[in-house]
A and B are shown apart, each in its own frame.
Chain A
Amino acid sequence: MSQVQIQETQPDFIIRSRAALEDNHLQEALEKAGSGFVYKRQAATERIGNFEQLRDQARRVRARALQHLDLYLLHFEKKVQQAGGQVHWAETPAQMRELVIGLCQEQNAKTATKGKSMVGEEVDLNEALEAAGVEPQETDLGEYVLQLAHERPSHIVAPALHKTKAQVQSLFRDNHALGERALDEVADIVNEARAVIRDRFLQADVGITGANMLIAETGTAAIVTNEGNGDLTATLPRTHIITTSIDKIVPTWEDASAILRVLGRSATGQDITTYTSFFTGARSQRDKDGPDQFHIVLLDNRRSELLGSEYEEMLHCIRCGACMNHCPVYQAVGGHSYNSVYPGPMGAVLTPLLRNEEQDNQLPNASTFCGRCESVCPVRIPLPGLMRKLRDREQREAKHANASTLAVKLFCRLSRHPALYRKLTQFSLKLVSMVRGQKPRFKKLPLMSDWTQHRDFPAPDKGSFQSQWQQRQKGKK
Chain B
Amino acid sequence: MTDSRSRILDRIARHTGGEYDADSIEASFQALAQSQTVNSVQPEMGLTDPIATFIEEARRNGARVANLKSMDQVTQWLRDNARHTSTEVRFHLAPNIIDRSLDWSGLNTTEQTPAAAGSWGVVQAHTGIAETGTVMSLSNECPSGLLFLVERLVIVIARKDIVGYQEDAWQRLRACSALPRTVNWITGPSRTADIEQQIQIGAHGPREADYLIIDSP
Contact = CB atoms under 8 A, between A and B. Distances in A.
Interface string B183-205: 11111111111111110101111
B3 to A, nearest CB: 9
Contact of B205 (A74, A254, A274, A279): A274
A274 B190 contact: yes
Given A33-B196, A271-B57, A70 B187 contact: no
A50 B181 contact: no
Given A70-B9, A216-B29, A258-B40, A275 B205 contact: yes
Nearest to A305: B11
B190 A89 contact: no
A246 interface: yes
Contact of B32 (A37, A71, A255, A300): A71
A190 B196 contact: no
B118 interface: no
Given A220-B179, A278-B182, A288-B141, A70 B188 contact: no
Contact of B196 (A165, A280, A307): A165
Contacts of A282: 181
A145 to B, nearest CB: 7
A295 to B, nearest CB: 12
B192 A161 contact: no
- What is the size category of the interface that chain B forms with chain A? 35 or more
Contacts of B105: none
Contact of A75 (B25, B132, B186, B197): B25
A159 B22 CA distance: 41
Nearest to A298: B8
A305 B15 CA distance: 9
A225 B114 CA distance: 21
Interface in A183-223: 186-187, 189-191, 194, 197-198, 201-202, 216-218, 220
Interface in A331-366: none
Contacts of A201: 204
B10 to A, nearest CB: 9
Contacts of B132: 271-272
A288 B205 contact: no
A173 interface: no
Given A257-B166, A279-B182, A268 B142 contact: no
Interface stretch (A8-16, A136-144, A399-407, A426-434): A136-144
B102 interface: no
Interface residues of A, number: 106
Contacts of B146: 289
Contacts of A227: 190-192, 194, 203-205
Interface stretch (A230-238, A370-378, A389-397): A230-238
A90 interface: yes
B175 interface: no
A307 B16 contact: yes
Interface stretch (B41-49, B64-72, B73-81, B83-91): B41-49
14 contacts: A32-B196, A54-B43, A74-B25, A89-B1, A226-B190, A227-B194, A227-B203, A235-B182, A254-B170, A258-B41, A261-B43, A288-B140, A300-B8, A308-B14
Given A48-B44, A56-B41, A91-B4, 12 more contacts: A33-B197, A50-B41, A78-B25, A145-B194, A168-B195, A190-B192, A253-B170, A254-B40, A261-B42, A288-B141, A288-B143, A290-B181
Interface of B: 1, 4-5, 7-9, 11-16, 18, 20, 22, 25-26, 28-29, 32-33, 36, 38, 40-45, 57, 61, 94-95, 115, 131-132, 134, 139-149, 166-167, 170, 173, 178-198, 200, 202-206
Considering the complex of A and B, which 5 residue pairs feature the smallest CB-CB distances, nearest first?
Answer: A228-B205, A49-B44, A227-B203, A142-B194, A308-B15
